[in-house]
Structure 1
Amino acid sequence: MTSLILALVGGGVVGLALGGLGGGGSMLAVPALIYLLGFTPAHATTAGLVIVAVTSLAGLLAHARAGRVRWRTGAAFVLAGLPAAAATGALSSRLPAGVLTAAFAALAGIAAWRMLAPRRAADPGGEAPGLAGTAPHENGGAAQPAGPVRSVATGAGLGAITGLLGVGGGFLTVPALVSALAFTMAEAVGTSLLVISGNAMAALVPRLGAAGNLDWAVVAPFTAAAVLGAWDGKRLADRFSGPALQRTFAFALLAVAALMLVDALR
């Protein structure tokens, strides 16, 4: 019963962060599974991919109905990341727990830094970006699409991170779509869910055998709570200012990074 309650609470917090910030919430899923629910790092990253894939697909449907997903360009970006996601997904299960923990701590620290960094520009359309450090723009803005080589490299890098650490990487995907492909912020947030869900499912393929060893009595309610929390995240964002939410979440990530780094160095 205690594990079920912790799973529901942890999933709800992850979903609220995803819905309220447009990304980054999955950074809390893996630490919650390790430190609250007793998963090993390898099982936690696999379970994290399940949670990320299902939650992202649920969010993708909502954004697709609003016309905020650029399917053709987003699919090309996904294809660039699929081989890397599958390769690092297979590699992850073979790495020592300490290496995975230290890598996750470093990524959490980078995510926190990006969220605390000052915004570079304001959206002319008045829409606040979901993650700090991005530069939203409209047609005719300063951002220009990157070349195909950079776009492919960026997609592959995002896929590699998703496969290795079991996170969606929304805090990286949204800025990448804005800067590399010149998406508007609304399109980047919606399309990032396509990229994240595609990479997560690709990374799960080489881990299908390990997925059978997961404690589904914990993973299933955690995932369901994350989906429900993501739907309510927008209401949270409407009630509180975006910068305040980002700062709170960033400091939480810094605490997670410090905890995991100390654990890795033991």
Structure 2
Amino acid sequence: MIAVVVVLGLAVGVALGALGGGGSILTVPALVYAVGLDPVAATTGSLVVVGVTTLVGSLAHLRAGRVRVLHGVVFGLLGVGGAVVGSLLSASVPPGVLLVAFSALMLVVAGLMTRRRRAAARTDGAARPVEDQPRPLAPVGLRPLRCDCRAVGALLLSATAVGVLTGFFGVGGGFAVVPALVLVLRLPMPVAVGTSQVVIAINSASALTSRVGQDVAVPWGVVAGFTVVAVVGSLIGARLTSRVRPEVLSRAFTVLLVVVALYTGVRSVAELV
């Protein structure tokens, strides 16, 4: 069991550190099929792994000036309600159905990563989009939160949706948080990536808190060990980005994600039938 936890924790951590958003989505399948947790316990334990790992990862972004703390806190707090609702829904859904939904989510993430990779290839060598251009990181206040009903509505909707996603599936949801921060709060892409770590940490903590009173049996010792190893793996993964081309890492992870999604979906559907 210890060897399995170490290997899988490192794999999840490396993926998270090297790829950022989407990298932690393998945590739940790993805890279910390799460690032997039931889906509800696995999604609960995943919240610990995701929350702690992203919190540690945010320190590097903070030192580099890529975190708008105030924006991240506001977005994260607005998603607390969604995270609580997602947690309650997850506990009430049959395990087989939860895993089928999770396999569908993995396929969606794989599709988004493929689309992002192809878009990056098309713009390679060309001028970067406006949101990717370096901008001064001086405090800008809460400009996106001015009294604009459409902007406020989009902010509430996107924050709640991200919260529900985190609470229901026990994933960080970086693949949804980053685009939301870019489109809704108009943050530059590098800053959105760094700020998303704050949002994920808040959503994970609130979703985990809402599950404390539920009857969920989680082997916290195993989850703690998995988390520690994942943090180490994330630091290793961050170093890989300077030695291996990002598109190679992304392509390999996408293939792995599709394989795990199909395996999870087939097993879950067979159990439901």
Q: TM-score, normalised by structure 2?
A: 0.86
Distance 1:85 1:212 in 2: 17
Flag the 1:14–1:211 CA change in 2: closer, same or farther, 3 A. farther
1:235 aligns with one of 222, 232, 239:
239
Flag the 1:46–1:135 CA change in 2: closer, same or farther, 3 A. farther
Please tell me whether the aligned partners of residues 102 and 261 of structure 1 are also in contact (alpha carbons under 8 angstroms): yes
Q: TM-score, normalised by structure 1?
A: 0.89
Q: Report the alpha carbon displacement of residue 126 of structure 1 after superposing the two structures with TM.
A: 8.9
2:249 aligns with one of 238, 245, 248:
245
Q: How does 1:1-266 map to 2 (within 5 A)?
A: 3-117=1-115, 118-119=118-119, 122=123, 136-138=131-133, 147-209=151-213, 213-266=217-270
In the TM superposition, structure 1's runs of 4+ consecutive aligned residues that sit over 2 Å from their partners are 120-127, 134-140, 209-213
* SS at structure 2 position matched to 1:38: coil
Distance 2:127 2:235 in 1: 22
Please tell me whether the aligned partners of residues 107 and 257 of structure 2 are also in contact (alpha carbons under 8 angstroms): yes
Stretches of structure 1 lacking an aligned partner (at least 5 in a row) = 128-133
Q: Report the alpha carbon displacement of residue 216 of structure 1 after superposing the two structures with TM.
A: 2.4
Name the % identity.
42
1:130 alignment partner in structure 2: none
Instruction: Give aligned pairs, total.
Output: 254
Q: Give the AA of the match of 1:38.
A: G
Query: Larger deviation: 214-223 or 7-16?
Result: 214-223
Please tell me whether the aligned partners of residues 15 and 229 of structure 1 are also in contact (alpha carbons under 8 angstroms): yes
Please tell me whether the aligned partners of residues 45 and 220 of structure 2 are also in contact (alpha carbons under 8 angstroms): no
* SS at structure 1 position matched to 2:212: helix
Flag the 1:244–1:54 CA change in 2: closer, same or farther, 3 A. same
Q: Report the alpha carbon displacement of residue 170 of structure 1 after superposing the two structures with TM.
A: 1.1
Stretches of structure 2 lacking an aligned partner (at least 5 in a row) = 136-143, 145-149
Per-residue CA deviation, residues 213-266 of structure 1 (Å, 9 max, x unaligned), is 311231111100111111111211111111111111111111111111112211
The structure with the largest alpha-carbon Rg is 2
* SS at structure 2 position matched to 1:199: helix
